[in-house]
Structure 1
Amino acid sequence: MKVYTQSINFNASATLLDFTQKKVESLTKFHDKIVDAEVFFKLENSSDKENKITEIKINIPGNELVVKKQFKTFEEGVSTAVESLKRRLKKSKEKLRDSLVS
């Protein structure tokens, strides 16, 4: 699966990009028809400590799943977003299986 990453208002480190790649690629265990993933990291200009926004968009045939999280660190955002996407991918696959059965 191809994972596209884009960082807005800063340059993402290689460790963050590697971490993101591994986490997002783990989603292929939950849905075998994932086309690609787009990850956006945005640094918000605010005094708030939780100013790091992570948005992950997963493209599957006929659907697009988007999760947006805001945390103190991008790693925390990626981990939480991936967990959320795991649940949504499982639901999506169950719906697909149910529609094929009926």
Structure 2
Amino acid sequence: MKVNVQSVNFNVDQKLLDFIQVKLDKLENYYDKIIYADVFLKVQNTSEKENKITEILLSIPGGDLMVKKTCRKFEECVDECISTLQRQIVRKKEKMNAHV
């Protein structure tokens, strides 16, 4: 799967890019027809500790899946996004199999 990572107003280090790639690759265990994933990383300029925003757009046949999470660390956000996408993929596959 092709992964595009875009960071807004900061540079992403290689460890975070590798972490994101590994986590997204695990989604292929649930659905092997994923075309690509767009990951958007943003930092809000607020006084709150939870100022990291992660959005993941997953392109699959029949439509896209989108998740947005706000956390203290990007790794935490990515984990939450992946678990939400995992549930969405399973639900979408069940619906597709029900129609067949």
| TM-score for the superposition, normalised by structure 2 | 0.97
| TM-score for the superposition, normalised by structure 1 | 0.96
Where does residue 84 of structure 1 map in the other structure? 84
1:55 positional shift: 0.5
Please tell me the residue identity of whatever aligns with 2:65. L
Q: How many residues align?
A: 100
Consecutive unaligned residues of structure 2, counting only runs of 5 or more, are none
CA displacement, residues 20-62 of structure 1 (integer Å, 9 cap, x when unaligned): 0000111011112111101000011111110000001100012
CA distance in 2, matches of 1:9, 1:46: 14
Percent identity of equivalent pairs: 48
1:9 positional shift: 1.3
Where does residue 19 of structure 2 map in the other structure? 19
CA distance in 2, matches of 1:99, 1:11: 44
CA distance in 1, matches of 2:65, 2:19: 20
Structure 1 vs Structure 2 CA RMSD:
0.6
Structure 1 runs of 4+ with >3 Å offset: none
CA displacement, residues 39-91 of structure 1 (integer Å, 9 cap, x when unaligned): 00001111111000000110001210000000000000000100010000000
1:6 positional shift: 0.5
